[in-house]
Structure 1
Amino acid sequence: MSGKRYTDEFKIEAVRQVTEKGYSIAEVADRLGTTTHSLYAWIKKYDPKSSQAASAQIDQAKELARLKNELQRVTEERDILKKGRGVLRKPVQMRYAFIKDNQQFWSVRRMCSALEVHRSGFYAWLKQPLSATAKRSEQLSGLIKQFWLESGGVYGYRKIFCDLRDVGESCGINRVHRLMQREGLKSQRGYRKPRYSKGFQPIVQSNTLDRQFNPTEPNQAWVTDFTYIRTHEGWLFLAVVIDLFSRLVVGWSMKPMMTTALVLDALLMAIWRRSPTNKVLVHSDQGSQYTSYEWQDLLKQHGLESSMSRRGNCHDNAVAESFFQLLKRERVKRKIYSTRAEARSDIFEYIEMFYNVKRRHGANNQQSPKDFETFHEMKLACV
């Protein structure tokens, strides 16, 4: 098929069939339906042994390190501003005091930048002795904290003011309020029942497919679903898109997390490989990934129609369930995968090198999905 496009995930696994599994370039290109020229280009780009790939990996590592540093900087500044929002508009001395109290959490340079003060001024402030007012405030703060703790953390500034007056301390009630605010001391107040957010309303479509699993032409109806593969490294999730006409797996994606991106990438691969010109019916279950706005938007962008199984009815998507049963029975349950990469490579080999091009299927008169579609094209050409 001309104009066919492939995802990076597909290309990497195709390269591994040559570099790790020992298949010839011509054999892999023939089974995958691509050209040897494209496969050579993929090997040059994605094979870790090539200098270009090594250079790309170094650049990628540098960029990743830069992004990590940037993320750390942004995160620290966010946390500093979140904790220090009470002193952001206060006098410089109060900001200096905040920096001094939080040196064990963040660097002085980062806090000075976030709070818009100079480091030289902060270090000069550290060398200056406390003024009489500052010493008096520290003394009162210690008494205030003691009375607040003795109350079990329930007293406010009015009651604390009365306690200070009873022990002979003379200060204004507003000063007590300011000092308690600076120390983060509050009175015990009533509480409200927490309010829960309902989130977005899921988009559920009707069961348009209605178990019509045998269309007469390719690209009339696709079914999609995902499953999980156990490895010693953790779960590997596999999403597939299957053309009901020939049972050909036209799209797939494998990721370590069960996210909406998993099913989107599988559908995107199917669109790139098949380039349908008519409206295709895409059938799925009512999982959160398929009822998301991202999934529905992708369908609309490419002129695809959505169909969904009834809630809790796995038989409405029996073809996808049957494929997963075959995959696990014929390949996954016969292997023990140490890593996700090992499982990914083995599942790619099963789908693209065996199931699509060689495995005989009962629904195809004992022909492989690829041979069944080729035979159908030949019949149309003879008519």
Structure 2
Amino acid sequence: MRAQNYRVESICTVLSERGVKVAQRTYRTWKPAPPSERVVTDAYLTNALLGTIDTAEGLYGRRKMTAHLRRNGYQVAACTVDRLMSDEGLSSIVRGRRHRTTIPGGKNSRRAPDLLDRDFTAEAPNRKWVTDFTYCRTWAGFVYVAFVIDCFSRAIVGWHAATVKEPAMVTTALKMSCGAETTAAMP
């Protein structure tokens, strides 16, 4: 408007005389402003992000995408990459974790029959025992542990730990629980 020698104040006055009331602040707010530095930088980085998708590596996650952009000369923070990827609806390829089990052969292997029919309640102590076999990762490697649990009190009545997974662990835990049964039954 200034280029044509019209002031905003005079135009707003004429419009209000005609019944259209427009405040000067409304016009100045409506007038398009030049884009901010952040908007320009975001557009530049978004183009770089979208250009990375077409490469043979596929779609990176936030950490790898940040490292990739930094290697290519962009000064960018991880939170900026995270924000831009979420604005564009980009997410990395998530690979599933491999499920580990202590049963050799997986789902199709032969297992022991369920004699309790999933009923783990007992009317008295030492009527029903169940056993569990698990492993824990430690700094020195894996530790395998076999437990014998009394279904009445839910107490561990026998256990055995070893660094090697073998069936004798369960029988050793069972022998320990048989010894605990005789000592617990004594007055």
Q: Same fold (TM over 0.5)?
A: no
User: Taking CA–CA contacts closer than 8 Å with sequence separation of 6 or more, which of the two structures ends up with the larger relative contact order?
Assistant: 1
Structure having the larger proportion of residues in helix = 1
TM-score (norm: length of structure 1) = 0.19
More strand by share: 2
TM-score normalised by L of structure 2: 0.37
Of structures 1 and 2, the larger Rg is shown by 2
